Amino acid sequence: ETQREAVLDALDNVAERLAEEKEYLTDLDSAIGDADHGANMERGFGKAADKREEFAEMEPNEVVKNVGTTLISNVGGASGPLYGGSIMFASQELEGGITAETSVAFAEAYLDKVKDRGGAQVGAKTMVDALVPAVHTYKKSIEQDDLPPLEALAKAVDAAERGVAFTVPIKALKGRASFLDWRSVGHQDPGATSTLFILEELLETAE
Ligand code: ADP
Ligand code: MG
Ligand code: MG
């Protein structure tokens, strides 16, 4: 299987999973937001997955870049530019192909861009709470512990899961949920949750 096919399969799996989780993500967003996160994610990744034919001739990094631009033009809200812009930016790191090394660079560039654009640090009850532990765990597993990418990704998924749980008891400091102040406490963040679902599907595809 070529890298391009692996990327396209991952995209299909992510789109399918987000469609399955549409209602769940919408429920999470209805508690502390405007009840559109499920629809936003389903629409964005659905449109990207629909471009499979168009992507068939592209290099893996170009496919990833185009997924980003598709999300930017179809998701909207806070999550569209965060997901789309960051995927687009980070795709540069995959120009030489997808290896353990370039995947770490991609993950770090993606996280940096999300933090840069959104201005959220860990503890603001956003997708950053899932991403920071996931990206740090992935990088450490590969660079320090010498684990193969698949095992590193499995550890990153576990870390993201803990990050999602961590969003429940804390108060939102960024995004719509922050308008609720203390009333956001006790609810799981939708964007951290969709981030976890995406990582789970990347792992599932790689397995
Ligand atoms: P909107 O809030 O515009 O309706 P979505 O519902 O699609 O957009 O996405 C909401 C998610 O976006 C939140 O759950 C949170 O994880 C993420 N988010 C919102 N603002 C920020 C931010 N400044 N930095 C990082 N993530 C953010
Ligand atoms: Mg919303
Ligand atoms: Mg919205």
Cβ atoms 17, 199 nearer than 8 A: no
Look at ligand 1, atom 25, and give the residue with the nearest C-alpha.
118
> What's the chain's Rg over C-alpha atoms?
16
Q: Is the CB of 40 under 6 A from ligand 1?
A: yes
Look at ligand 1, atom 19, and give the residue with the nearest C-alpha.
175
> Residue 88 Cα, ligand 3 centroid: separation in angstroms?
21
Q: Judge whether residue 77 has pLDDT over 80.
A: yes
pTM exceeding 0.95: yes
ipTM attached to this prediction: 0.99
Enter the tokens of residue 16. Answer: 């399918």
CB atoms within 10 A of CB 30: 15
Of the bound ligands, which one is closest to the alpha carbon of residue 30?
A: 2
Condensed to tens digits (0 to 9), the pLDDT of residues 40-58 reads 999 999 999 999 999 998 9
Quote the percentage of the chain above a pLDDT of 90. 97
Q: Is the CB of 81 under 6 A from ligand 1?
A: no
Look at ligand 1, atom 5, and give the residue with the nearest C-alpha.
37
